[in-house]
Amino acid sequence: MKILDIQTGRISLPLARPFKTALRTVEALSDIVVRVVTDEGVGYGEAPPTAVITGDTDGSILCALHDYIRPALMGMDVMDLPACMEKLNACMVHNTTPKAAVDMALYDLWAKAQKKPLYQLLGGARTSFKTDITISVNPVSQMVEDSLDAVKQGFDILKIKVGKEGEKDVERIAAIREAVGPDVQLRVDANQGWEAKEAVRIIRAMEDRGLCLDLVEQPVPALDTDGLEHVTRNVETPILADEAVFSPRDAENIIRRRAADLINIKLMKTGGIWNALKICRMAEENGVECMLGCMLESRLSVAAAAHLAAGQKIVTRADLDGPSLCAVDPYEGGPEFDGAAIRMTDDAGIGVRNVPCEFWS
Q: How far is the CB of 265 from Mg ion (least distance, A)?
A: 11
> Which of 267, 263, 266 is closest to 238 using CA atoms?
263
Distance CA 295, CA 277 (A): 18
Q: Is 319 in the site for Mg ion (CB under 5 A)?
A: no
CB 48 within 8 A of CB 296: yes
* Closer of 108 and 132 to Mg ion (Cβ): 132
Q: How far is the CB of 217 from Mg ion (least distance, A)?
A: 5
Answer for which of 56, 189, 250, 297 binds Mg ion (CB under 5 A) is: 189
Q: Is 169 in the site for Mg ion (CB under 5 A)?
A: no
- Site size toward Mg ion (CB under 5 A) is 3
* Closer of 184 and 240 to Mg ion (Cβ): 240
Binding mask 96-115 for Mg ion (x = CB under 5 A): --------------------
Q: Name the strands in the sheet holding 185-189, side by side, starting at the edge strand that comes first in the sequence.
A: 133-135, 157-161, 185-189, 213-217, 239-241, 262-266, 290-293, 315-319
Among the listed residues 99, 112, 266, 269, the single catalytic one is 266
Distance CA 273, CA 102 (A): 10
* Closer of 29 and 106 to Mg ion (Cβ): 29
* Closer of 189 and 229 to Mg ion (Cβ): 189
Q: Choose one: 84-92, 240-248, 307-315, 343-351; the region binding Mg ion (CB under 5 A).
A: 240-248
Distance CA 61, CA 71 (A): 15
Q: How far is the CB of 242 from Mg ion (least distance, A)?
A: 4
Q: Choose one: 68-76, 216-224, 320-328, 348-356; the region binding Mg ion (CB under 5 A).
A: 216-224
Q: Is 242 in the site for Mg ion (CB under 5 A)?
A: yes
Q: Looking at beta carbons, which residue is closest to Mg ion?
A: 242
The answer to whether residue 161 is catalytic is yes
Q: Choose one: 39-47, 61-69, 177-185, 235-243; the region binding Mg ion (CB under 5 A).
A: 235-243
* Closer of 46 and 217 to Mg ion (Cβ): 217
Distance CA 258, CA 195 (A): 19
Residue type, 214: D
Q: Choose one: 69-77, 212-220, 221-229, 295-303; the region binding Mg ion (CB under 5 A).
A: 212-220
Distance CA 289, CA 262 (A): 5
CB 202 within 8 A of CB 237: no
CB count within 10 Å of CB 361 equals 11
The answer to whether residue 152 is catalytic is no
* Closer of 108 and 242 to Mg ion (Cβ): 242
Angle in degrees, 0-180, between the axes of helices 96-113 and 81-90, rounded to the nearest 10: 170
Q: How far is the CB of 21 from Mg ion (least distance, A)?
A: 8
Name the burial class of residue 113, with classes exposed (0-12), middle (13-18) and buried (19+) by CB atoms within 10 angstroms of its CB. Answer: middle
- Quote the longest CA-to-CA distance of the chain: 61
CB 308 within 8 A of CB 274: no
Distance CA 83, CA 76 (A): 8
* Closer of 292 and 304 to Mg ion (Cβ): 292
Among the listed residues 112, 161, 168, 313, the single catalytic one is 161
Q: How far is the CB of 271 from Mg ion (least distance, A)?
A: 18
Residues that are catalytic: 161, 266
Q: Where on the chain is the footprint of Mg ion (CB under 5 A)?
A: 189, 217, 242
